[in-house]
Structures are given as structure tokens and as C-alpha cells.
Amino acid sequence: FRLALIQLHVSAVKSDNLQRACGLVREASAKGAKLVALPECFNSPYGTQYFKEYAEKIPGESTQKLSEIAKECSIYLIGGRSIPEEDGGKLYNTCAVFGPDGALLAKHRKVHLFDINVPGKIQFKESETLSPGNSFSMFDTPYCKVGLGICYDMRFAEMAQIYGQKGCQLLVYPGAFNMTTGPAHWELLQRGRAVDNQLYVATVSPARDENASYVAWGHSTVVNPWGEVIAKAGAEETVVYTDIDLKKLAEIRQQIPILSQKRCDLYGVEMKK
């Protein structure tokens, strides 16, 4: 099946972001994409100072529009981190997924908050305004089961292992790595998660805006179960297409059967919730 990643240029105007995102979703659907993903924070600038201002409930204005466009195009739509979600007085970094009938299939709240300090390069603390999610998020399609993470979640190998154990064959991480961590770890982490678990990994970033307060790395990418990069964007706004070959995935797992060779008598990773 064909996967499309929309690397959107994000502005400060929510309505413009929504309109442009929906236009690119229509374009991707017209080119045969069955699963389309939007980037982290596609509907607002990325930064702790923006989260409260742009927050919405789910369902709300933005997710209603995503539901409508998924139904119009008859696709599975991963809404990136469409919005900071407001719920019960707390804010979450949330990704909503809609099916071809417009129904909400999954809602992933970012589990691992991006609190880092690289001296002289970048300091960021999502926990100043956001609360963490407390659950894994998977959804089924006629093609395969998909596991969701958001950006910093990709650094935690245990999460990807759980998804693999639960039958996921594709992991999608809407993310916005920056100009320090992007060149160092963006592709490396994707290839690691893919080859460790013998599945496809897709990441979808906002396009780079050099004038933003937080500059995203871009380079939305798809990696196959062999650890090969099979599609990759540059820094500009674009749509990345790739065909997910589940036969190839099955062949790799048969040739190197690490999933059945794990020594569960010696070690294990388990899902607690």
C-alpha cells in the first residue's frame, strides 16, 4: 500500500495551516496514498509559549476538519500532533487518527516529554506546559497494524519493541527534531527502531522555517525492515511517497528470525498498561 508523508510548512495562522494541510491530503489521495500522515505540530508553531494559545479539545475544530478530509478521500489519516489537546485543565501533545469513514481510530498522547539541555546548543522543556500520556496507541488497517509515537517517543526502544510484540508492522512518528538533534540522531534512531524490530518506520516532520523560534530539521523519512532508507525529504515543504511492501517484511523476518529467537527465559520487555 502507498504511504504519504506531508512535510508541511507551518505558519502562525491556524486556518491557513489547516487549509494547506487538507489540500496536500487531497493531493496525496489522488496519487494513490491509502495512509497519509501529517507532521508533529502541523497546526501551530512549536514552542511551550504557543501550546496554551493554540490548544483545542478533541473533538474540536481541527480534528473535525481532519475527520472530514479522511472521509472525503476515503483514507487513513494520521493527524500528526494536530494540536495541543486540552482536557481536564491539562495540555497534551496529541496525535489523532481517522479512518476512511471519518471515525476516530486512535488518540496518542506523547508519552515521553521533550525535556533536554545540550549546553550551548539547545534547551527545551515540554513539561513546563504539557502533561505526558500514559498509554500505547495502535490501530488496524486492512493492510497492517500501525503503532504510534510522537517525536521524543522514538528514542525509547522499549516502546517500539512492545509495538512489534503486539503485531505492528509499521511505526509512525510525527516529529520535529531540531537543528542539533536532527543531523545527529533523526535517521539513526529510525534505522535502529526498524532493524531491531524488523518493521517499517516512518517519520514526518514540519518543513524547516529558519525564522521560527524553534527550527525543525525536516527530512521526513521512511526506513524498511532491513534498515534501509527508502524515501526521504529535504528541508522544504513536500509530500513523500513510498510503497510499503509487507511481503518484503515477511521475507526478512523469515531469513533472520530474531523475533522467535529472543531468550524470553533471560530477559523481556512488557507493557504495563
Please identify which of the residues 40, 56, 86, 126 carries the catalytic annotation.
40
As a whole number of angstroms, the distance between CA 4 and CA 80 comes to 12
Do residues 11 and 38 lie in contact, with contact meaning Cβ atoms separated by under 8 Å? no
Q: In a structure prediction context, what are the per-residue pLDDT tens digits for the chain, which is 273 residues long?
A: 999 999 999 999 999 999 999 999 999 999 999 999 999 988 888 888 888 889 999 999 999 999 999 999 999 999 986 668 999 999 999 999 999 999 999 999 999 998 988 888 888 888 999 999 999 999 999 999 999 999 999 999 999 999 999 999 999 999 999 999 999 999 999 999 999 999 999 999 999 999 998 999 999 999 999 999 999 999 999 999 999 999 999 999 999 999 999 999 999 999 997
As beta bridge partners, residue 177 has none
Q: Which residue has the cell 508533529?
A: 40
Sign of CA dihedral 154, 80, 98, 246: negative
Amino acid identity at 179? M
Determine whether 40 is an active site residue.
yes
Please identify which of the residues 22, 73, 95, 151 carries the catalytic annotation.
151
Do residues 250 and 219 lie in contact, with contact meaning Cβ atoms separated by under 8 Å? no
Strands 76-78 and 90-98: antiparallel
Backbone angles phi, psi at 202, to 5 degrees: -125, 135
The 3-state DSSP class for residue 38 equals coil
Q: Which residue has the cell 514526518?
A: 204
Q: What is the pTM of this model?
A: 0.96
Determine whether 110 is an active site residue.
yes
* Residue 11, pLDDT score: 92
Determine whether 270 is an active site residue.
no
Please identify which of the residues 110, 126, 187, 237 carries the catalytic annotation.
110
Closest listed residue to residue 149, CA positions, set 98, 249, 89, 78: 78
* Residue 130, pLDDT score: 93
Q: Within the chain, what is the greatest distance between any pair of CA atoms?
A: 54
Residues in the chain: 273
As a whole number of angstroms, the distance between CA 111 and CA 102 comes to 25
* Residue 82, pLDDT score: 61
In CATH terms, 2-260 corresponds, of 3.40.640.10, 2.40.128.130, 2.60.40.10, 3.60.110.10, to 3.60.110.10
As beta bridge partners, residue 85 has 56, 92
Amino acid identity at 196? D
